[in-house]
Each structure stands twice: as structure tokens, then as C-alpha cells.
């Protein structure tokens, strides 16, 4: 069944790669993981580093990501500010914080009850999670109003969000970047795929009016076989996605998971930050780079 999931992940990638700028999101698709797995706690991390191009221009890092745990819920969020918008890094931060706040409120009745949380996550729909996206948008808008600017013109940003319980989860995405899941020992597949427009560097933003048309939503009903989930900004895409085969580069994610499981969160985030700023990365990407994710402990 792992092979079946990998095939589904490739279909997700193919559909995204061939979609038109006006195409709608993937909608509600269930991923069936059926290899029994002992439940282990999540080890989460979030790292953003400034790209070399921004060092040259003197601009700040315009990426932001965050990993927060409330009760039994592990929340992950990542946002990449548009390079053409002067305050997009502030917008990215507001989007992630707004999402986390909204999700905490949405899940408040379930945070102390693992079974109830998993049931809600498993049965939730794209419409349910539009509430959390609205929360992210509202905080960006409030920050923009305080600064006297238009949110979409000055704070445009993409968005990736995920919520994991003990045995169920969901992922959301607007724009480029992607979510990649480890669906078996060393086996990785794309749960979402970057959405670009007519041109390679064109994408879609959380802040735009038509955001619902570009919202990707996936439910993961059971963690039987799911060992890790990682999201990343477009600055990392050239390092970890094979666009010819529409698959993730497994060696990249395997190394990250091995390092995360072998050390503390602080040690991993320091090592990942150093790696993302190394010549191995900067020779392939001069953009800001962000990775947020969670790995099962004990593998």
C-alpha cells in the first residue's frame, strides 16, 4: 500500500505541474496508509535562513516558519513573503502566527482528548480549515492597516500549514513550496506540489482575493506508516524536488530525518541552519530557505 500512496503522490505532483493559473485546488483527497505502526511522539522543528541575494541587497529574510504544540496537537506553519513586496516578511510572520492562534481556538475542545482530536481531524473538511486560513489573513490585514499599507501589495505571502494529532492530520497550502511525507522506511512522497502560474517564478498568495481557488487541502486519516512530514519554501525546491519525475529527492529528506531523530531540537535546528547557508545550498539557490516539519521519535 506504500507503493499505492507514492503513486498517489505522483498524481498530486502531475496535476499541480500541469495546472493552469486559474485552476482550482486539489480538494479533499484521503491518503490510505495501512502499514501498522506503534505511535510515537512528534519531534518538531522550524528553521528559516536568509538567502544570499538578500545579503547583497540588504533586505531581511522574507520567510517565516513556526512549530507549536498545544495539548495533543502539533501545529506547523510556513510562509514565504513575495520578493517584490517590501513588507512581505512581516506579512509571512503574521500569517503563521495568525494561523497558529486560529487553529488553537478551533481545536480547543479537543486538545486534552487524543481520540476526539483525531476524530475531528479525520472528519474535517476543506471548509472547516478555511476558518484557520481566514485567521491568518485577518492578522496580516490588521498589521497592514496599522502600517497604512495594502496587505496584498505590501505583505503578499504564500502559506503552508499542517496539524498533526496522534493518529490523524491535515495539510494546507497556497502557492509554491510543498509538503513531503515519509510513508515508510526511507520512502518519501509529495502530499502537495508547488503551484505556479504561467511563468516559473509566478505563484499565488494567501493575501489575494481569490485564495480559495488555490487552497490545497489533504486529510491524512491514519498514521499507519507515516513517519515524518516536512514542508519547505520555494528556495529549497531545487534541492529536494525532482521535477522530471515529479517526486521528492529522498536522500535529502532521509538525512534530515536521521539527524532530527538523533539529537535535540536545538542541535538539529542549528545544524539545519548551517546546512542551508552552506555552499552546497547557496550554489543552487540564492533565495531565503525555510523548512518546518515533524518526525516520529524512535526510528
CATH number of the domain residue 135 falls in: 3.60.40.10
182: pLDDT strictly greater than 50:
yes
Whole-angstrom Cα distance, residue 191 to residue 139? 27
| Spatial distance between the Cα atoms of 174 and 177, rounded to a whole number of angstroms | 9
Grid cell locating 102: 486560529
What's the whole-number mean pLDDT along residues 169-188? 91
pLDDT of residue 129: 96
- Find the range with the poorest average confidence among 14-18, 61-65, 188-192, 217-221: 14-18
pLDDT above 70 coverage of the chain, percent: 84
pLDDT for residue 105: 95
The number of folded domains in the chain is 1
pLDDT above 90: residue 88: no
Cell output for 252: 535529502
C-alpha separations of 75 from 50, 55, 163 in Å = 23, 30, 5
> Domain containing 188: what range?
2-296
Strand partners, 188: 182
Enter the pTM of the model. 0.86
Amino acid at each position: 500500500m506504500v507503493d499505492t500512496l507514492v503513486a498517489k503522490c505522483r498524481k498530486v505532483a502531475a496535476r499541480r505541474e500541469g495546472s493552469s493559473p486559474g485552476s482550482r485546488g486539489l480538494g479533499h483527497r484521503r491518503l490510505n496508509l495501512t502499514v501498522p505502526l506503534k505511535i510515537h511522539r512528534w519531534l518538531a522543528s522550524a528553521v528559516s535562513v536568509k538567502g544570499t541575494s538578500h545579503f547583497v541587497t540588504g533586505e531581511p529574510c522574507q520567510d517565516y516558519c513556526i512549530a507549536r504544540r498545544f495539548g495533543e496537537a502539533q501545529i506547523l506553519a510556513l510562509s514565504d513573503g513575495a520578493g517584490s513586496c517590501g513588507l512581505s516578511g512581516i506579512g509571512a510572520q503574521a500569517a503563521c502566527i495568525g494561523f497558529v492562534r486560529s487553529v488553537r481556538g478551533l481545536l480547543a475542545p479537543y486538545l486534552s482528548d487524543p481520540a476526539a482530536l483525531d476524530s475531528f481531524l479525520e472528519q474535517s473538511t476543506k471548509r472547516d480549515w478555511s476558518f484557520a486560513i481566514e485567521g491568518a489573513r485577518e492578522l496580516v490585514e490588521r498589521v497592514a492597516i496599522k502600517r497604512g499599507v495594502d496587505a496584498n501589495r505590501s505583505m503578499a505571502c504564500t502559506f503552508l500549514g499542517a496539524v498533526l494529532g496522534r493518529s490523524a492530520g491535515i495539510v494546507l497550502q497556497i502557492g509554491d513550496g510543498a509538503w513531503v511525507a515519509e510513508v515508510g522506511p526511507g520512502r518519501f512522497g509529495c502530499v502537495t506540489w508547488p503551484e505556479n502560474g504561467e511563468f516559473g517564478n509566478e505563484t499565488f498568495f494567501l493575501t489575494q482575493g481569490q485564495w480559495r481557488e488555490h487552497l490545497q487541502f489533504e486529510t491524512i486519516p491514519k498514521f499507519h506508516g507515516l513517519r515524518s512530514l516536512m514542508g519547505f519554501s520555494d528556495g529549497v525546491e531545487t534541492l529536494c524536488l525532482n521535477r522530471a519525475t515529479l517526486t521528492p529527492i529522498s536522500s535529502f529528506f532521509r538525512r534530515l530525518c536521521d539527524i532530527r531523530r538523533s539529537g535535540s531540537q536545538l542541535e538539529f535546528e542549528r545544524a539545519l541552519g548551517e546546512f542551508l547557508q552552506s555552499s552546497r545550498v547557496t550554489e543552487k539557490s540564492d533565495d531565503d530557505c525555510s523548512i518546518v516539519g515533524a518526525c516520529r521519535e524512535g526510528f
